[in-house]
Amino acid sequence: MGFCKFSKFSFLFLISILSVSTAEENARISYDRVSLLSFMSGVVSDPENSLEHWNSTNVHVCNWSGVGCNHERDQVVQLDLSGRSLKGTISPALANLSSLMVLDLSKNFFQGHIPPELGSLFQLKQLSLSWNLLEGDIPSELGFLHQIVYLDLGSNRLAGHIPSSLFCNGSYSLQYIDLSNNSLSGEIPSKTKCSLRELRFLLLWSNRLVGQVPQALSNSSKLQWVDLESNMLSGELPYNIVRKMPQLQFLYLSYNDFVSHDGNTNLQPFFAALLNSSNFQELELAGNNLRGEIPSIIGDLSTNLVQVHLDDNLIYGSVPPGISNLVNLTLLNLSSNLLNGSIPPELCRMEKLERVYLSNNSLSSEIPSALGNITHLGLLDLSMNKLSGSIPDSFANLSQLRRLLLYGNQLSGTIPLSLGKCVNLEILDLSRNKLSGIIPGEVAGLRSLKLYLNLSSNHLHGPLPLELCKMDMVLAIDLSSNNLSGSIPSQLGSCIALEHLNLSSNFLEGELPDSIGQLPYLKELDVALNQLSGDIPVTFQASTSIKAMNFSFNKFHGNISDKGAFSLLTMDSFTGNDGLCGSIKGMPKCRKKHHSHLVIFLPIIVSLFATPLLLMFGYPLVLKSTFRNRLGVVNGGDFEDEEKDGKEPKYPRISYEQLIEATGGFSASSLIGSGRFGHVYKGIFGDNTRIAVKVLDTRTAGDISESFRRECEVLKRTRHRNLIRIITICSKPDFKALVLPLMANGSLERHLYPSHGISHGLDLIQLVNICSDVAEGVAYLHHYSPVKVVHCDLKPSNILLDEDMTALVTDFGIARLVRGVDETISANDSISYSSADGLLCGSVGYIAPEYGMGKRASTQGDVYSFGVLLLEIVSGRRPTDDDEGSSLHEWVKCHYPHNLEPIVKQALLRCSPGSMPTNYDKIWRDVILELVELGLMCTQYNPSTRPTMLDVAIEMGRLKQYLANPASMLTGEASSKADAPLII
């Protein structure tokens, strides 16, 4: 009986304890709800993207968007609202979430101060407030966060001193500190008695910090990444500190006021200290006041070293041959120093070198021909030295060379014909040397030149080579101050992208071709100090692009108006031409001519002959023109202007009736695709030419008219093997169509998703080749097209594949044409879109996040879309498959880098051929991982941190080459400074 009573009592006691415990937990979660709602009251968000369920009383707080709970005790332990376009202030109420372990509000638009109350979140392990608009001081109370592991306050507007409590708070767990890109001042507050022994990343770049690097950092022996660049730090290079960092990989000390040892004469101790770091990868010491010689022990540093920046210092002496022991180096920058002696031929042993900068020194002797053996070399800058001798023929071996800068030396001999074999060359600058001979046609015909050709200030002679007209993508040509003779070929008018042309100070004669004045983007022309004659063509006056011209000291004659482009000029542009007269201030007035009596009778004589001529030829022409207009026949450009000007059409003339016949009356059986603006039909002409006809739906006339105009403008101005080619256009009031080649293998979308009718997918080699093609095409649009273009709708369905599986980018209907250099437009500039402007957004899943905030269309937006495409190909997921409530970028990133194995395995299953050799498994795994990393870089939230499309194209080209011939490529790409360390 007693036992039963005791058991009953015990049971009731247990129930009462559980009831109290449940009540406490309910009170706790209710308290957390109130704190979160208080935080939300100071936040402005887009209702479609941010705080889902936060206003619902029927949804448990642990199911709110961005909220994570410890489900055993129902406590809020995580609040992650990064990248949600939130505005407002950070409420101190968050300090009431006493169990919070992760607080991430990064990549938003929060303003105001950091609440000091956050220092009471004693369980907090990660605090991320970077990429906001926060200002004021860093609260010293954050030093109370003794459990903190990850602290990121970078890229804000914070000012004042760094609180010493952050570096001396009793925390033994802090691994990551990022206070970079703010306006912090004062010294780095680290004391010897306060050691951060677990610290791995210290990022303080781009502030206003002063003083020396604190000795206490030597206690942080696990440091891997130290970035103190762009401050005002001083003192000797911290060799006593870095020698105690055996795990150091990245050290950035550039653009401070550091000096070397022994009165700024000795760099040896610092480089000796780095010998302890066996995995060292990048060293940046540029822009300091460093003196001394480069010590020979630089060649004994870790062979993992991939980048060395010693530029913009006062370093003297020779380049030590031992530096060639750094066989994995990809970038060597020793420019803007006081180096002398010769360039060591041993550099050719550094087979991975991609960029070499030795400019603005006093290097002498000849250029070693051995440099031609560095097959991966993409940039070689030896300008502003004292180099002599000839340009080595071995440069023809540099198939990857894009920029060759040899100006400002004492080079002699002729320009090697072999340079014409550098088929990827974009910049060639040989100016200010002693080169002689003619300009080789092989070099003048380099179609790859996209930026500029500069051969000025040499001793070149002979005529201007006709091959110059092949440079249809070059932006600037400077051949001034030579001994060139003969006439200026009218074919130069084929250089349609040309913006700057300088032919001054030569012996050119004859007339100035009017075709040059018709160049659509020409901004500057200088033909002064030649022997040119005749009238200055009116095309220069009529140009809408030219801003500066110099015709002085020639033999021009005729009347000069002060209208049009000439209204920007002064007499200085015409001086030294005695035959000129006109309205320019300071120019002689033109005399009035006395007309003879013959002029009175001339109209009568002309009319007598003109009438029979009109009867013979004029009426048939009029009838023919009327007939063409009735059929709706046009050519591929601005056809109305070309008809008026009597020019030959650029594209075949195809009638509306021919399109009807080719497509079976636009029948349903010919339909191969539909979109927002209309339908695409396949067709076959009588000669078996297969075409695709894109017919726009005129019921949405306003949008369609603009879309049609944009696509026509893009297609007629761009020429690239990876961009769709226009055959012709057909435009009538009630019918608008583009006629394009029919792509035999359809769109990439049909291959990525077999349900679209493809029996098998593509292997990895094909996919990488396709992505490389797309990157090349879009890079052309961004960087080299005569009209800079932002595509705005890059996705698999807009990538077509021809019979050879070459990819062509299509559908420019919402492309943004940008006159001039697109870099002048900030990605952060906001504009107000009209309904038509809304077309710039693109397709759901591929739209860059900044577009959703009303930002201007930019090239970075296309980079984002390309990154989504890469992640889509690797993961096999559409960007709209948001079953987990996250974007494709977020979904992949949450698996990176430690949980990628399932994604890689699935990718290998989808993209591997049935009989792939076993040894290729690792190669393909490496490529898939590279694609993931490149995709994540391209889809970074901040547009300014994404690579350019040119960088992406280069990287895709390397992967393509690696897959085609793995033995020819050396693996192990190093991280660049742009890659922020990822802590997941």
Residue stretches of the annotated binding site for ATP: 694
Which residue's structure tokens are 């803007």? Answer: 336
By C-alpha distance, which of 327, 322, 324, 284 is closest to 303? 327
The span from the first CA to the last CA of the chain, in angstroms, equals 60
By C-alpha distance, which of 908, 981, 951 is closest to 175? 981
Contact residues for 804 (Cβ-Cβ < 8 A; gap 6+): none
Contact call for residues 502 and 480 (beta carbons, < 8 A): yes
Tokens encoding 480: 């001034």
Q: Is the peptide bond before 416 cis (omega within 30 degrees of 0)?
A: no
d(CA 886, CA 519) in angstroms, rounded, equals: 49
Tokens encoding 856: 């201007």
Tokens encoding 752: 């990525």
What radius of gyration do the chain's Cα atoms show? 34
d(CA 693, CA 670) in angstroms, rounded, equals: 10
Taking each continuous run of H as one helix and of E as one strand, the counts in the chain are: 20, 52
Q: DSSP letters along 521-545, please?
A: T--EEE--SSEEEEPPPHHHHH-SS
d(CA 310, CA 806) in angstroms, rounded, equals: 42
Beta bridge partners of 693: 681, 739
Q: DSSP letters along 899-953, please?
A: T-HHHHHHHHHHH--TT--TTHHHHHHHHHHHHHHHHHHHT-SSGGGSPPHHHHH
Which residue's structure tokens are 């003619």? Answer: 438
Contact residues for 63 (Cβ-Cβ < 8 A; gap 6+): 53
In the annotated binding site, the residues are 694
Contact residues for 352 (Cβ-Cβ < 8 A; gap 6+): 306, 327, 328, 329, 330, 376, 970
3-class secondary-structure state, position 201: strand
Alpha-helical regions (H) of 41-103? none
Pick the catalytic residue: 104, 152, 793, 811?
793
Contact residues for 712 (Cβ-Cβ < 8 A; gap 6+): 637, 726, 729, 738
Which residue's structure tokens are 């009592």? Answer: 9
Contact call for residues 953 and 775 (beta carbons, < 8 A): yes
Report the 10 Å Cβ neighbour count for 482. 23
The enclosing H or E element of 778 equals helix 764-779
Calculate helix-pair angle for 764-779, 859-875, nearest 10 degrees.
180
d(CA 786, CA 495) in angstroms, rounded, equals: 10
Strand order in the sheet with 135-136: 135-136, 157-161, 183-186, 208-211, 232-236, 257-259
Tokens encoding 83: 């990248």
By C-alpha distance, which of 543, 428, 541, 538 is closest to 475? 428
3-class secondary-structure state, position 440: coil
The enclosing H or E element of 257 equals strand 257-259
Residue 793 annotated among the catalytic residues of the structure: yes
Contact call for residues 333 and 357 (beta carbons, < 8 A): yes
Contact residues for 402 (Cβ-Cβ < 8 A; gap 6+): 378, 379, 424, 425, 426, 427
Beta strand 671-675 with 208-211 is unpaired
d(CA 543, CA 512) in angstroms, rounded, equals: 15
Backbone angles phi, psi at 379, to 5 degrees: -140, 130
Q: Which residues are catalytic?
A: 793
